[in-house]
Amino acid sequence: MAKKQAKTSKRPWKIIIPIAIVVILIFWFVGMYNGLISKDEEVNKAWGNVQTVYQRRADLIPNLIETVKGYRDYEQEVLENIVKLRSEAGQAKIDVDGATNPQQLQDAMGNMDGILSKLLVVVERYPDLKASQNFLSLQEQLEGSENRISVERQRFNTAVKDYNVKTRKFPTNLVAGMFGFDQKEMFEADQGTDKVPEVSF
């Protein structure tokens, strides 16, 4: 009789231990999945911030062109250049708005950089344009935009790095693989930007 009671008293542990292990595994699994979701959302937020600062710059360039247009000399060549640049800036803005990944956005902003460079050449040729307070103010805003872009791109790359590290570490990589948490792409410098540009006068 005593042996039978001893056997029945051990049975609850045989059930409780496996259930406890399953519950712990479920909590562990859910914790890892939720951690991946948090990192993914951090990347999405950082990407949204990058798009916001690029959009700010894309909005500023047409305004800069309008300001230059308002203070230009009425020479035919300047007028034609400004009209052409305004058209190109409008198209580049459409490209920026439609970008869905870092490479597309980088290409679109490369076009915007080219337009800005051409505009600055026009301004250099007509120094009176630079005297306008509005023009100087917009130049400062553009410089501020470039700084914001740099900061937000660095933050985006940091968020992507954290996410990529989490998805590659064991055992989180098992959960990441099961639910399709793929590695994300960082912003990279355009080819040739590692070389110092030549400046000639």
Write the pLDDT tens digit of every residue in 144-192.
878 888 888 889 999 999 999 999 998 889 899 999 999 888 877 666 5
DSSP letter for each residue of 67-119: HHHHTS---HHHHHHHHHHHHHHHHHHHHHHH--SHHHHHHHHHHHHHHHHHH
Write the pLDDT tens digit of every residue in 41-50.
999 999 888 8
Q: Percent of the chain having pLDDT more than 70?
A: 63
Q: By C-alpha distance, which of 172, 154, 130 is closest to 38?
A: 172
Classify domain 11-179 at the CATH topology level. Answer: de novo design (two linked rop proteins) (1.20.1440)
Q: By C-alpha distance, which of 88, 93, 128 is closest to 109?
A: 93
The reported pTM is 0.60
